[in-house]
Structure 1
């Protein structure tokens, strides 16, 4: 149940509110989106709310990276052990990894440029969209929320910041994969051993190949939840401003240049 049902007369819309989250168009820097795709394929597309493509690239990255031992090779190269870095790579998987990795960067950049153009056109149309969605499973609505809280909760556990702003699909995806990364990297066990002062055991128990996925995961969750909170706040203010002007402002109201409004 929505507080407004679109008649589909507009060519473009700036936002859509559903029980699963608020999806909106806003100007994005294509270089930043491409950078996130380079950091972890799929993240750039998820920042654009292109979830199916983002999920596909993300899962591809995890599976093929592990099979090709890309992370292990990176670790050896960081240590200066170039020969071992070459040795661990599985070229049967690596040759599939490279084209998809480059595609993710290129496609996210291209899509960002296109979506920025669509946003500018949608802004001119100024077509109305729903601001509240009421369902049997969830309630979602536009309001102002604190981006610092989104960032803070994401730093505690990636996905919590998205739950705070009701981006359910992203939250579930991020949390599920965080559990996978935690489990296979044994990072939680290592942290407990560190607290107990057992540094050597903590180092030996950890799986660095899976551990390298976690920093990007934390970074994406923090950045995405923060940015979307800021943009949701802007969308709320814009929607409220339009509502007040249309329903409460006199048609003859004018602000004259150089005069103060009392």
Structure 2
């Protein structure tokens, strides 16, 4: 007999949300939140000029990319992005626990990483124009700087979560 709740890979769900926020939720068959995240992604992307900024940044036209970005909208994108990946990953784990008949745990996974990712990406976007970042053209780019700071803060937050918070829980 075929199960109405098929196995969902947490990593596949997270990677689908990495492609586009909301795709991981659609993969998990959470259509309402998936469509809501897709609508928010398109709205924030359009209002912040993110696609134009990315195009200019990867073409090497840093001055144009800095002039095009609308920070009042662009600073929402990292939070939406990190939330979509976190929610898709954890929803797949909950789905699999229900499928196996296990009790649903009251914990979440990779919370520190995704909180650090959102904070780091916002910091990278916000701080790219500081004098400290002018030492390199790579660091002066808002998009690449956001990605770099996001990954660094995400890894640090994950390590802190594992070392202190999770050890304290056991």
> Shared fold (TM-score greater than 0.5)?
yes
Distance 2:59 2:89 in 1: 34
Which of 15, 40, 43 is matched with 1:152 structurally? 15
Q: Distance in 1 between matches of 2:44 and 2:60?
A: 24
Note the residue ranges of structure 2 that are not aligned, 5 or more in a row. 103-170
Query: TM-score of the superposition, structure 2-length normalised?
Result: 0.57
The alignment status of 1:169 with 2:32, answered yes or no, reads yes
Shift of residue 194 of structure 1? 1.0
* Residues 65-100 of structure 1 deviation map (CA, whole Å, 9 limit, x = unaligned): xxxxxxxxxxxxxxxxxxxxxxxxxxxxxxxxxxxx
* Alignment match, 1:201: 64
Counterpart pick for 1:235 among 86, 93, 98: 98
Tell me how many residue pairs correspond in the alignment.
101
Shift of 1:218: 0.6
User: 1:238, 1:182 → 2: CA distance?
Assistant: 40
Following superposition of structure 1 onto structure 2, how do residues 1-262 of structure 1 map, counting pairs within 5 Å? 141-238=4-101
Structure 1 residue 143, shift from structure 2 partner: 1.5
Q: Which residue of 1 aligns with 2:114?
A: none
1:154-192 CA deviation, whole Å, 9 max, x = no partner?
011000000101000000000001000000000110000
Q: From the two aligned structures, give the one with the greater strand fraction.
A: 1
CA offset at residue 232 of structure 1? 0.3
Distance 1:179 1:209 in 2: 15
Structure index of larger Rg? 1
SS in 1 for 2:32: helix
Normalized per residue, the structure richer in helix is: 2
